[in-house]
Every structure is written in C-alpha cells, then in structure tokens.
C-alpha cells in the first residue's frame, strides 16, 4: 500500500513482525511442504530398513513392522534426515550496510534468514547461525522453535554496524569456522554479497571458493547472494563520491560520462558472473536476491524450480539397478 513504512523505517521488534507476516502470507503454500524444496535433493522419504545399531540409532526410528517380521530390531532409513539441522552463515560486514531501494542489503539478508527459518521449521528441526561482524564470527547454537528463530531475527536486525576500515573476518575463514563447528550433515545457507575475496584480474577463483567447496562436501549448500541495483549500474547524477565500506577508501567519479557508466556495468556483470560460476563449481545452489526486487516472489520461484528439479531427478533415477535416488 502506498505510504506504508518500509522495513528500515521500523524498530527491530516491528521489523520482525513484518517479516513474519510477509513470510507467512507470501510463502504460505510452501510452508506446509518439506525443506527439500530449498535445494534439489532426494528428500526425506522412506528408503528402506536396516538392522538397529545400539548406541547409534534412535528408538523412535524403529521400523516395528520389519522388526516383528524378522525378529531382529530394524530402523527406518530415509534418503535425507527427516530432522533437519540448518546452519546459517550471515554476512553482517560493512559492505552489507548499503542500499538504494526499499531495503538495505543487511535487511534483505535478514529477510532471507526469516524465509529459510520458517521454510525449514518443523518438529525436531534445528536452526543455528554464524554471524560475521566487526567483532569476529559469532556463533548462535542450533535450537528448535519459532521463538528462537524470532529472537535470532531480532539479534540480526539490532546488531551494531561496523565502521569502514575496521577489521572483519574474511568470508573464507568464516566458512571454515562453520564447517569445523558442524560435524553432522545438514543444510548450510550462506547469505552474503560474496564481494570479499574477489580477484583483481577477474579471472582467478574467489578466495572463498575452496572453502565453499569443502563445505559442500559435508552439507547441502544454498548460497543466497545479496546485491543492490547501484552495484550493477551507475545513474547519471553528475560527480559523486564512492566509498568502499570495507576499507573506507574514497574516489570521486563523474557519472555523466556514458563510457564510464558502460564500463562500470560491464565490470559489475562480469563480477557477478564470476561469483555465479564459482558457486556452481563449489557445488552450491545459487539464489540471487536484489534490494529492488520482490524478494518473497524470488524465493517462491526458486523453491518451485528446485522442486521441479527434484521431481525430474527422481524420474531419471527410475530403473537404475541397485541405485538410490
């Protein structure tokens, strides 16, 4: 509705309520499905049974029908853990404190966290987070429940902003911290602009690619890329001062020069393509979100696309002798 306050105009408590309402309304049709819609995968359906392993298997996974038939304890096997552990790595460095549309990049990152949190919520499912900020990487242990998710959103929205030029951990180091702290396989969601560690030559792999690849060996990985339209192209507004939020470096440029604007747009597109290819090589599923777009609609489209890929993958696996989905 015209005249409604934007997310940035609200205090953290009302921001959380707005996010919860938006997710529940816009993603309602997805909230009743399974988390597998976030990523292509085999899902959490029954894949068979095997003998019970004392001290390793939970009694609640017992397959009583097979146990009664064989007279040996058996547990159900599934293609993915029904009780999902989701770990978020959220970039809250100074480069995220920027936005020229209705949302800042930091606020869009929190919106993405809200969507992932509500989409993966379920009985027994746990959500934890690592947040990259000026004070280092802060770990929020995995917990269950809606109240925990809402508390995490409040914390992210109220987090202090880092000063330009301050020291913050690199994305690669933060990914490795996440990997070391999550020994059990689950879903890892990295929310960042992925601008850290990009090569000057525009050809070499980003500094975080190897760490992302290691993360994808253990977890299913969703990379949520956050960007703003001014990072894609410059408007013709005369002479402006550009400030690097990470280093504080300043540079004056004349946006009235069409050749400069074209070069900027070409360099920005090449940079984003570099990020896209690096994420693909690392084995991560890529979800790009922009501050000037309808983020909820983009997430819905992404989930529907991944579910179609999942169904197609199951279809291709039919008839493979001894193969699993």
Q: What is the pLDDT of residues 137-173, one digit of tens each?
A: 999 999 998 899 999 999 998 887 766 666 788 999 9
Quick one: how far is CA 102 from the chain centroid?
20
The CATH superfamily holding the domain 7-32+83-312 is: von Willebrand factor, type A domain (3.40.50.410)
296 close to 233: Cβ distance less than 8 angstroms: no
pLDDT 10s digits, 88-136? 999 999 999 999 998 999 999 999 999 999 988 876 789 999 999 888 9
d(CA 144, CA 128): 9
Structure confidence at residue 242 (pLDDT): 82
Query: Confidence class of residue 178 from pLDDT cuts 50, 70 and 90?
Result: very high
Domain extent listing, the chain: 7-32+83-312, 46-52+61-80
CA atoms within 13 Å, Cβ hemisphere of 89: 32
% of residues, the chain, pLDDT over 90: 48
Segment 189-193 shows an average pLDDT of 98
Residue corresponding to tokens 């809200």:
114
Residue of 73 and 229 predicted with greater confidence:
229
Q: List strand residue ranges (DSSP E) for the chain, in order.
A: 46-51, 74-78, 85-91, 126-133, 136-143, 187-192, 220-227, 239-243, 250-254, 285-290
Q: What is the pTM of this model?
A: 0.80
Structure confidence at residue 212 (pLDDT): 98
| Angstrom distances, CA of residue 242 to CA of 9, 148, 251, 268 | 25, 39, 5, 15
Structure confidence at residue 141 (pLDDT): 94
């Amino acid at each position: 509705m015209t005249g409604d306050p934007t997310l940035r105009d609200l205090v953290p408590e009302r921001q959380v309520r707005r996010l919860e309402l938006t997710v529940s309304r816009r993603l309602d049709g997805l909230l009743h499905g399974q988390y597998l819609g976030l990523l292509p995968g085999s899902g959490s359906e029954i894949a068979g049974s095997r003998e019970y392993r004392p001290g390793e298997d939970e009694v609640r996974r017992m397959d009583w029908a097979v146990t009664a038939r064989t007279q040996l304890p058996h547990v159900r096997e599934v293609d993915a853990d029904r009780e999902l552990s989701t770990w978020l790595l959220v970039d809250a460095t100074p480069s995220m404190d920027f936005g020229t549309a209705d949302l800042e990049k930091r606020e869009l990152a929190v919106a993405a966290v809200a969507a992932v949190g509500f989409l993966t919520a379920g009985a027994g499912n746990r959500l934890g987070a690592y947040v990259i900020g000026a004070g280092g990487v802060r770990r929020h242990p995995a917990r269950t429940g809606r109240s925990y998710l809402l508390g995490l959103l409040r914390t992210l929205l109220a987090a202090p902003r880092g000063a330009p030029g301050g020291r913050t951990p690199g994305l690669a180091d933060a990914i490795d911290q996440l990997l070391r702290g999550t020994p059990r396989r689950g879903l890892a969601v990295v929310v960042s602009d992925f601008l850290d560690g990009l090569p000057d030559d525009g050809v070499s792999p980003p500094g975080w690619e190897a760490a992302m690849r290691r993360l994808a060996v253990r977890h299913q990985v969703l990379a949520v890329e956050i960007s703003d339209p001014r990072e894609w192209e410059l408007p013709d507004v005369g002479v402006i001062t550009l400030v690097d939020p990470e280093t504080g470096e300043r540079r004056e440029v004349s946006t009235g020069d069409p050749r400069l604007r074209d070069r900027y747009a070409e360099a920005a597109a090449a940079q984003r393509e570099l990020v896209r290819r690096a994420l693909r090589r690392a084995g991560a599923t890529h979800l790009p979100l922009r501050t000037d777009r309808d983020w909820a609609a983009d997430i819905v489209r992404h989930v529907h696309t991944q579910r179609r890929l999942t169904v197609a993958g199951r279809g291709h696996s039919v008839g493979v002798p001894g193969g699993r989905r």
